[in-house]
Chain A
Amino acid sequence: MPVLHRWPRTLALVSSLVLLLGPVRVASAQTQVTALSGLDFGAIISGTTSTIAPTAAQAMSFRIRANVGLSLGFTMTLPTVLTRVGGGATMPVSFCTTCARYRLNNTNPAGGVTFNPNVGVLALVLLVAGDVYVWVGGSTSPPLNQPAGNYTGTVTLTVAAII
């Protein structure tokens, strides 16, 4: 009888060991893209060009997060105009060849790597899990006769794991 009493404890111990020694799980690779802030031109002057540098607080910013080391590339499709809701007008917006920066595991764009947002970063190797922070500045040049209204545009960010 004492032997039978020990069975449940033995089973529990065996179960625990099986769980501990069970198949080793490799963490599933994940990517996560988060939009952190938009491009904020602030007060503008009609008929003149307003420019936001990628290092400015008003720059657009994203974070690409990978939970394991991998090679990835990212490109952006950027609008050339903002369109007035309801039609009737567009407003030019442009992104220069040095209007973007990226940096690994650091949220400060100063010291980041400059790149052309119209080309993107074709390949970036993350040796371990990490965050890629991306900042994009731009310019807008509304003419003097720019109609009032609400203007929209779409930025497409493409992130590809190189595998």
Chain B
Amino acid sequence: MKILAFNDRVHTNVWRAGEWVRDAMRLMRIAAGVVALAATPLSAQSVLIAPTAIIIDANRPSTAITLVNTGTAPAEVSLSFTFGLPATDSVGNMHITLDESPADSMPSAVDFVHAYPSRLVLPAGGRQVVRLVAAPQRKLEAKEYWARLIVTSRQGRPMAVGTSTDAPADAQVALDLEVRSVLAVFYRPAGLSTALDMSAPNTRVANGQIETRVRLQRGGNAAFVGSVSAVLRDSTGRVHGKKDIPLGVYYDLEPLITLGLASVPKGTYELELSARPERPDVPNGMLLPAKVVKQRTAVVVP
């Protein structure tokens, strides 16, 4: 092992063999310890979660998710609920905003959705079905209620990392990795509906792409869960670009949608935006129906 550290005794040229050896050993331990937040052992941790969206129907107020430890070491898993909604920032990037203390006016399901078990140890290769049960303590208004399930997993024992073969046996660094997976939970009483209103798109050509902001506002009493598609067509109807953005509109959202122009010739095109209640990660039967909405605008590619 290469020790490149020196203490101040060396700098002052005071030579004391015993102290030098002790110092060298100490520095070796520090080096091996500091060192390596490690190469190999992290590969032991891997947890698979399915599905990514959980829909609980009031008529059958129980569903399940599956956890699989595909790693090579036991994983400690805990499940908890919080409130959270998708949001867009000032430039249209979408993200999930978690809120542990939502306003009373928010339709939060956090208080009445429970996970069984809520803590478990998954052995390597192990699989566990976790039951999610909704048990509201009062009569709920006819609207959709939301929560976010947080599945936290970490390796059952600290990962021994950075142990150097030529380092003292008592010197090593352990790096814990904690993974939090955030999943959407919808609780649906009877009588729900959703709709979407799409404003006229605001489009510009910049950075080698078409950048479009479009304001989406939800109608009805449930979130609009689906996709927005952007299609760029020339005057003959030929498609020069297409993108689908899966999203959820709980109140309103103004996402940025980009289409690359690398292979698009100069000219005037029509950009069509359409929103429909379909997305690849949720079976259609679990999505609330909604009318498809569209907007079109002309785009000049210089």
Contact = CB atoms under 8 A, between A and B. Distances in A.
A43 B158 CA distance: 22
Contacts of B96: 73, 160, 162
Interface stretch (B233-241, B245-253, B288-296): B245-253
Interface string B184-209: 10000000000000000000000000
Interface string B150-169: 00000000110110000000
B57 interface: no
Interface in A141-157: 142, 144, 146-157
Given A35-B42, A36-B43, A163-B246, A142 B8 contact: no
* Max count, chain A CB within 10 A of own CB: residue among B31, B44, B247, B281: B281
Interface stretch (B22-30, B111-119, B121-129, B266-274): B22-30
Given A38-B159, A43-B4, A29 B51 contact: yes
A32 B46 contact: yes
A60 interface: yes
A67 B185 CA distance: 19
- Interface centre among A37, A85, A93, A148, by most chain B C-beta atoms within 10 angstroms, is A148
A156 B180 CA distance: 7
Contacts of A51: none
Contacts of B244: 69, 127
B71 A34 contact: yes
B277 interface: no
Interface string A122-156: 11010110000000001010101011111111111
B46 A160 contact: no
A33 B94 CA distance: 21
B48 to A, nearest CB: 4
Interface stretch (B12-20, B32-40, B99-107, B213-221): B32-40
Contacts of B52: 29-31, 66, 70, 161, 163
A70 B281 contact: yes
Interface string A22-46: 0000101111111111111111111
Interface in A48-92: 58, 60, 66, 68-71, 73, 82, 85, 91
B80 interface: no
Contact of A40 (B8, B39, B95): B39
Given A73-B95, A151-B34, A161 B53 contact: yes
21 contacts: A30-B49, A31-B48, A35-B42, A38-B39, A40-B39, A43-B1, A43-B3, A45-B4, A66-B281, A70-B52, A71-B246, A71-B247, A73-B94, A85-B174, A125-B243, A128-B280, A150-B170, A159-B181, A160-B95, A160-B96, A160-B181
Interface of A: 26, 28-47, 58, 60, 66, 68-71, 73, 82, 85, 91, 93, 122-123, 125, 127-128, 138, 140, 142, 144, 146-163
